[in-house]
Chains A and B, each alone.
Chain A
Amino acid sequence: MTALTVQAEAEVAKWNMPVGVTEISREVHGLHMLIFWVVVAIGVGVFAAFFYSIWAHRRSRNPKPATFHESTTVEIVWTVLPFVILIAMAIPATGTLIKIEDSSDAEMSIKVTGYQWMWGYEYVGEDYSFYSRLDRDSDRARQVGSGIDPSSVDNYLLEVDNRLVVPTDTKIRFLLTSNDVIHAWWVPALGMKRDAIPGFINEMWARIDEPGVYRGQCAELCGRDHGFMPVVVEAVPPAEFEAWLAGKRGDEGSDTAASEPVQVAEADTGTATATDATEVAAADADADADADAEAEAPADDAASAELELAALMETGEKVYKTNCVACHQASGKGMPPAFPSLIGSAVVTGDPTTQIEQVLNGKNAMPPFGHLSDEQIAAVVTYTRNSWDNDSGVVQPADVAALRQ
């Protein structure tokens, strides 16, 4: 977002819950500190009695034990007193809870969809949506034995390829759902997390009052790459947001496809490093760059033209293991009826177009994989068509490129 003013990142908390940038998060933080101090006060009292007793009532100091073993008064006191303390804590907690659940009068809505393993964002009624996944540098560094030092990667595991850009000072309603398993959408600075559940639409809201970049992660075990689906929210003043959104929509005009070219371009500049970031930044910057990128994508693919079966199979296996194995299994047998077997399946043995389209766009419970590069998709399609007992020919990146849009 070089074209936009990027403000200071939210302060990183180390010992305590961060205060956050919404009214709710400040209230939640206040509640957290309130209970914390109540607990500390009770703890000091209880543990003082405990350690005093250990010290003063040890046998060498107090050889003759007392004989009392009951006191109705005392027992009533220490039943009633905690009640009173609890009620004192319940009152503010109830107030905050009521506020959290009141998402009326929202000024805009964003639909958040969890996928294994990325987030889909849609600006409801704005005709613009995109996917957001772990950024390339983190992704490379996090591979087993990558040899890359995580601390050399900026915001290791907490950066995405496409950030969710939102306006400040606006009541935003988030509609959460999922396309496969349960995920949870969580940005600590917003003071809330909520589950994204297939077949359901959950709700939460936030009004962010400081521009900045706020980071979080998926917080519900969702399979192999659960630890690798960060959430990055970039809050900008409303005017800037409007300009950004108009720019994003302006040239492409239509939904999902709009973001795709950017991602293809990024995926294909696979060797770009921090110093070589111009291209990525440009692709991200505004609508003009999007257009460039679109023009560029096929060119890149042309360069990688005809890939051999062996090369495709090798890449394909890797792509399969990361993206497909959870449902279709390493054996390709899937888990019918939910996840069909790929062995001898009509889609996998038939016209490659059908299969490429299904991988690109998804079908029923299968998520779309349009965010993968042409080469990756060609490789994985080739892999499934030539593994196990299948033998159905090679698919080239160019075939995939031709079917995008």
Chain B
Amino acid sequence: MRWVMTTNHKDLGTLYLVWAFTMFFVGGLMSLVIRGELFEPGLQFVDPEFFNQMTTMHALIMIFGGVMPAFTGLANWMVPMMVGCSDLALPRVNNWGFWILPFAFGMLLSTLFMDGGAPASGWTMYPPLVLQTGEAFPFLIFSIHLMGISSITGAINVVVTILNMRAPGMTLLKMPLFVWTWLITAYLLIAVMPVLAGAVTMLLTDRYFGTSFFTASGGGDPVMFQHIFWFFGHPEVYILILPAFGIVSTIIPTFARKTLFGYASMVYATAAIAFLSFIVWAHHMFTVGMPLAGELFFMFSTMLIAVPTGVKVFNWIATMWRGSMTFETPMLFALGFVFLFTIGGFSGLMLAIAPADFQYHDTYFVVAHFHYVLVPGAVFAILGAIYYWIPKWTGVMYNEKLGQFHFWWSAIWINVLFFPQHFLGLAGMPRRIPDYAVQFTDFNVISSIGAFAFFIGQFVFIWNMIQCMRGVGEPAPARPWEGAHGLEWTVPSPAPYHTFEEPPVVDDKEVAAHA
């Protein structure tokens, strides 16, 4: 019962993280079905319709069930401890926000057993195709509504906590970057989740109540859905990465034993990225046939995103520069992030060039791009964060040898998995196809091998974390990392169930701006 009723931010943080990893596992198994089928040309195991269901469910589960709840879990655990308050502002809402998720995903997963199968229209749910979904259709829509509600409650909680409950002396420009990036992410969530909810509701009424928002025969416009979807969807991809920026900006200074370079410009760059994310949505739809002026606008604005993103990468490297670095597991994941995320940024810049995007769009080149920003990007940051804070959460150190092994294993296979997909896309392999022409065989074989190997390696992580949760390992001191600053390290490890019931005195040594 404690775990069901709990309103404690630490308990809920744990629940969110455990949930996220369960979903990563389920979504991961689906990706293995995909990579298994694509191992060689010809259809070996699954029907093409089921293949489409797998790609759709994989994406929805990874994004809404994996990455987003994992970030929310980290926010639950760390935001109150970083700004020096005792809990999130709305603890009961927090409990609800979490428990909505099992219902949402229970509903979504149950569609696998329905007549007509699970949704098979891609996570982008473009009409008219999505309207051909069988009995799963209303379940898809309602589960998305529930995920949206959960995200919004989480976001409101974070905003209210950060704005109202900081310890005296913790001014906005002294907050750790993880808190800053989450604050901005929360605003993005509040702004765009209702847009998604609106879009899918319009789908629902088109299907059941005779409206024709998106059906051409009734005077509607299928492209309008895409505009609305991507007005949500592009900020969404930043929702999936901004907290990761915050994590990396926390870990690198710790292990470089040097203050983050350009704290203020990091904050401004994050805000700039968030702002730009609202005006570039149509770069996902260059091929729908927009007027020239529209294409130019979206091309130029998309290219601009590379500037603040570049500033971030340069600042991380300047933080490392002339530091005194050690390479414990969290640092390895953070450095892996910087290196591989940058590669994803480079392919993003290539995609921004509209005439070239006409060729890249909807090919494996795009698949490679967004997986570079999402797996060695978002997911590596999440893994790094867990290694970084697990001593504080459990009071014991994780097994460093296994941690290092987990990093190197993941870093190698993730590249085997996704790098060849750049070549596949350039050579002309469309995305979301269950079978392919024989000239694409070699790189698909390599990619599939990478997928299976990467997946297997994650059990090392799970084992390591289970050991920590069981309290097996070296006891952790209050500040296990020599270079770590921040209020969370001023409390003992494991952090007591209730921290900061009395607001702490904020000492300038513990704030990010000039530790």
Binding site for B on A (CB under 8 A): 12-18, 24, 27-28, 31-32, 35-36, 39, 42-43, 46-47, 49-50, 53-54, 57-59, 62-71, 74-75, 78-79, 82-83, 86, 89-90, 93-94, 96-98, 100-101, 141-146, 148-151, 155-158, 180-182, 184, 186, 188, 191-195, 197-200, 202-203, 216-228, 326-327, 329-331, 335, 337-339, 364-365
Contacts and interface: CB of A to CB of B under 8 A. Distances in A.
Contacts of B223: 197, 200
Given A57-B320, A69-B258, 19 more contacts: A15-B426, A15-B427, A50-B317, A54-B325, A58-B327, A59-B257, A68-B322, A93-B355, A97-B295, A144-B45, A156-B41, A157-B41, A182-B129, A192-B359, A200-B289, A226-B433, A335-B131, A338-B131, A338-B215
Contacts of B362: 184, 193, 219-220
Interface in B82-139: 115-116, 120-122, 126, 128-129, 131-132, 134
B133 to A, nearest CB: 9
B207 interface: yes
B52 A89 contact: no
Interface string B313-340: 1110111111111110000000100110
A331 B438 CA distance: 36
Interface stretch (B157-165, B259-267, B382-390): B259-267
Contacts of B306: 82, 86
Contacts of A180: 128
Contacts of B439: 12, 14
B261 A70 contact: yes
A82 B307 contact: yes
B426 A156 contact: no
Contacts of B343: 43
Nearest to A15: B423
B292 A98 contact: yes
Interface stretch (B174-182, B188-196, B297-305, B393-401): B297-305
- With most chain B CB atoms within 10 A of its CB, the pick from A54, A141, A226 is A226
Given A219-B363, A227-B435, A101 B295 contact: yes
Contact of B358 (A143, A192, A224): A192
Contacts of A331: 115
Contacts of B436: 157, 227
Contact of B296 (A32, A94, A192): A94
Given A86-B303, A97-B355, A151-B438, A65 B115 contact: no
Contact of A157 (B323, B325, B437): B437
Interface in B404-460: 423, 426-428, 430, 432-439
A34 to B, nearest CB: 9
23 contacts: A35-B356, A49-B321, A57-B320, A58-B327, A65-B257, A69-B260, A69-B262, A74-B318, A89-B303, A89-B353, A90-B299, A141-B42, A142-B42, A180-B128, A193-B358, A198-B216, A221-B121, A221-B432, A224-B47, A225-B48, A329-B134, A337-B210, A339-B132
A226 B355 CA distance: 24
Given A14-B423, A65-B258, A335 B299 contact: no
Given A57-B321, A79-B307, A97-B354, A364 B42 contact: no
Contacts of B14: none
Contacts of A218: 430
Contact of B128 (A24, A141, A181): A181
B80 to A, nearest CB: 27
A90 B356 contact: no
B271 interface: no
A224 B52 contact: yes
Given A66-B322, A97-B296, A227-B48, A181 B259 contact: no
Nearest to A99: B355
A199 B217 contact: yes
A39 B307 contact: no
